[in-house]
Amino acid sequence: MALFTPTAFWGGSSSTPFDPTNIPNLAGWYDASDTTSYVKSGTTITGINSQGTYGDSLGVIGSSNPVAGTQQNSLDTLYFNGSTAFENSNTDPLVSSNGLHFAVGVFYPQNVSATNDSVWSVDSTYDYAVSAQDASRWFGELDLGNGVGSSGTIGPFSNSNREDQWIIVSVGFTKVQSSNFILVLLNASAGVQWSATYLTNLSRTQKLRIMANRNGNKKQSGRFGELILYDGDWGTGSGIPAAYTYRYQAEGYLAWKWGLQGNLPATHPYKNSAP
């Protein structure tokens, strides 16, 4: 399947705009704006294919199916009603052999009904989920499994309810910078509680779920835009900004593609122009 990269949102005259393949170690890429990636039975959406060869195809779990949602920045989205989610029936190598991983996604959470409603999760012995944190509102929390971090949770990483709005969520697990730590950011900004020490490597292979928690029994209502995952580090070396080079690029790519550049902080290197 050909990679789908909308170009209408990019400024300038370049015929080869930035896309997630420009960052090394791309391990998973799912894009709701590419309607050709939807797996269908008739008109019913029963799954989504990855972009190119970056990840396995995901199927639907639950008692219903996602449907085409309201567009964002003239791009198609998928709507999940809280009783359905995408799941990989197998496992994918989403983490490097030495425990490196980062991911950035665009979501619109709605109608939170449990603290562990999750916009995405990876499920294995050592894993994580990006969850609501509150039983009726979405403040955001990173739930960590089996001693992965110095705390079992990181969050809340927002001090206000993020339901009914588009958000960019970034997570990273590093063991090659000056210290071993886990990072989680909302709209590329440090939140109320946003880091912990990285103690035990994530499992290399993980079962990915989109709009569901790690065992799939709590499903998040809302809209899904795009999720990219890397089995490598989020930067190119020590010191800022080098240590965050790839994270910045992924955040900038998604922000400008989905019309969310206003969500980025003023200090972000791609606040005023796309990568």
The per-residue pLDDT for 15 is 61
Closest CA to 102 of 23, 194, 40: 23
pLDDT of residue 49: 98
pLDDT tens readout for residues 10-30 = 343 456 789 999 999 999 999
DSSP string, 204-230: SEEEEEESB-TTSSSB-EEEEEEEEEE
What's residue 177's pLDDT? 64
Closest alpha carbon to 94 in 29, 149, 41, 144: 29
Q: Name residue 24's amino acid.
A: P
> Which tens digit of pLDDT belongs to each residue from 50-59?
999 999 999 9
Domains present along the chain, CATH in parentheses: 22-263 (2.60.120.200)
Q: CA 64, CA 73: separation in Å to the nearest integer? A: 27
Closest CA to 37 of 18, 22, 21, 58: 58
Asked if residue 149 has pLDDT above 60, the reply is yes
pLDDT at 1: 39
> What's the pLDDT at 4?
42
**Angle at the Cα of 5 from the Cα atoms of 183 and 82, rounded to 5 degrees:** 60
Per-residue pLDDT for 6 more than 60?
no
Tens of pLDDT, residue by residue over 170-211, are: 999 998 766 899 999 999 999 999 999 999 999 999 999 999
Is the confidence at residue 61, as pLDDT, over 70? yes
**64-117 pLDDT per residue, tens:** 999 999 999 999 999 999 999 999 999 999 999 999 999 999 999 999 999 999
- Cis bond upstream, residue 156 (ω within 30): yes
pTM, two decimal places: 0.94
